[in-house]
DNA sequence: GTCTATAGCGGGATAGAC
DNA sequence: GTCTATCCCGCTATAGAC
């Protein structure tokens, strides 16, 4: 079973599970809560998923796949300058994280709840997404847009982005777009602009 | 009972609990695991703590208090320039997070596992620490060392710092000191240096 | 202050009828 | 595909001896 050919029904169940996992955390979310959210009884849940782990794996696959897809699309549609590409990546990342506000968050914050097998299976998808980021960071470094250690800079950026889920208020004045702009301008050496 | 006058024994138990909470997460850490780590049986644990929640609260209080203490000390010892003060705060933050590598991490990542009462009680300590940060960020903004929205900049910085626990390797080449330096130099407008 | 023993509960998961 | 009923387990917490 792959993320690209899930039934619409299953996709909807995964969406609802993601919401609960974000609100409560994976461990505190019971199968009874999941079933209730889905409008069925807990026994019926196991017709759709082998066990609770499989639900988590499905959510994380969905979240990472969405992030990867949106990022690729954003890069394809934006301009060629390192600045534009950096901004496009940050914006896409924040949009899957804050607007859709579900599966991608779970992918980031519950990765360690995955068992070894699921981690193995999903690591490729995750690596593909991280490679996309590394390429864009490298381009920005090569162009002198930003400075510093490749490894450290990319992790600081990911940290700043991923931590937003802890404080971002969807009802507030800022949009993901604004955050992306502000973060990129913070990183960019003023000398280079 | 306050963090400042815990018995040495209890402090040691708190330290060991912190380690397990970081490794496994609060929910997956059982009282049996905690007791085992402390070298006693699970029943004996409740002679020292009323319940599992109280252990978490003690760890988080310890972690936040440590961070606050080290940060104050770092500010008292460093120079007066906004750059030095920013660097001192980042370094102190990373040291409690990565070197001590225990209670402060729990304070950041398991805050939401606290019940309402404990959150109420500990929020003052937490606020005191955040105010310290806000003051230093404000000074840097006022001096033109960094630019941007006060609210957003401080949260990006905290994100970059707090996310380090996810990837930092204590055996690796970088020390907390190096990370602090690199982060500050990334944020500082080159025009201002 | 630590032990053994266990109560009591809620969790994940299964079986079989419909 | 969903239901009811239930198993079985491991968890937190307690009681009372030492």
Q: How much is the mean pLDDT over chain B? A: 96
**What Å value separates CA B31 and C1' D11?**
8
Q: What is the pTM of this model?
A: 0.96
Would you say the C-beta of A28 is within 7 Å of strand D?
no
Q: Would the pLDDT of B1 be above 70? A: no
Question: Quick one: pLDDT at residue B3?
Answer: 82
Residue-wise DSSP of B104-148: HHHHHHSGGGS-HHHHHHHHHHHHHHHHHHHHHHHHHHHTTSS-S
**What Å value separates CA A66 and C1' C18?**
39
**Greatest Cα pair distance in chain B:** 62
Would you say the C-beta of B73 is within 7 Å of strand D?
no
Q: Would the pLDDT of A31 be above 70? A: yes
Q: How much is the mean pLDDT over chain A? A: 96
Judge whether B158 is closer than 8 Å to chain A, CB to CB.
Answer: yes
Question: Quick one: pLDDT at residue A119?
Answer: 98
Judge whether A124 is closer than 8 Å to chain B, CB to CB.
Answer: no
Q: Would the pLDDT of B193 be above 70? A: no
Would you say the C-beta of B29 is within 7 Å of strand D?
yes
Q: Search chain B and give the residue with CA nearest A179.
A: B152
**What Å value separates CA A47 and C1' D1?**
8
pLDDT digits (tens, 9 = 90+) for A2-24: 787 889 999 999 999 999 999 99
Q: Would the pLDDT of A177 be above 60? A: yes
Q: Would the pLDDT of B2 be above 60? A: yes
Q: Search chain A and give the residue with CA nearest B163.
A: A159
Contacts of A5 by beta carbon, 8 Å cutoff, 6+ apart: none
Cα–Cα distance measured from residue A146 to residue A138, given in angstroms and rounded to the nearest whole number? 9
Cα–Cα distance measured from residue B67 to residue B20, given in angstroms and rounded to the nearest whole number? 19
Question: Quick one: pLDDT at residue B190?
Answer: 62
Q: State the average pLDDT over residues B136-151.
A: 96
Q: Search chain B and give the residue with CA nearest A165.
A: B159
Question: Quick one: pLDDT at residue B191?
Answer: 53
Cα–Cα distance measured from residue A95 to residue A72, given in angstroms and rounded to the nearest whole number? 13
SS3 string, B69-80, reads: HHHHHHHHHCCC
pLDDT band for position A1 (cuts 50, 70, 90): low
């Amino acid at each position: 079973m792959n993320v690209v050919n899930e039934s619409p029904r299953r996709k909807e169940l995964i969406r609802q599970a993601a919401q609960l996992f974000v609100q409560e955390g994976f461990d505190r979310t019971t199968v009874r809560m999941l079933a209730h959210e889905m409008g069925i009884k807990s026994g019926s849940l196991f017709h759709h998923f082998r066990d609770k782990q499989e639900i988590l794996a499905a959510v994380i696959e969905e979240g990472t796949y969405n992030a990867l897809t949106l990022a690729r699309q954003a890069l394809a549609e934006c301009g060629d300058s390192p600045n534009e590409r950096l901004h496009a990546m940050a914006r896409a990342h924040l949009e899957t994280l804050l607007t859709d506000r579900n599966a991608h968050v779970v992918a980031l914050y519950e990765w360690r709840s995955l068992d070894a097998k699921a981690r193995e299976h999903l690591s490729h998808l995750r690596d593909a997404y991280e490679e996309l980021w590394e390429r864009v960071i490298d381009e920005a470094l090569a162009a002198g847009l930003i400075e510093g250690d490749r490894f450290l800079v990319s992790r600081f950026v990911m940290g700043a982005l991923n931590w937003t889920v802890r404080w971002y208020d969807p009802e507030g004045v800022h949009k993901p777009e604004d955050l992306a702009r502000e973060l990129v301008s913070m990183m960019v050496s003023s000398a280079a602009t």
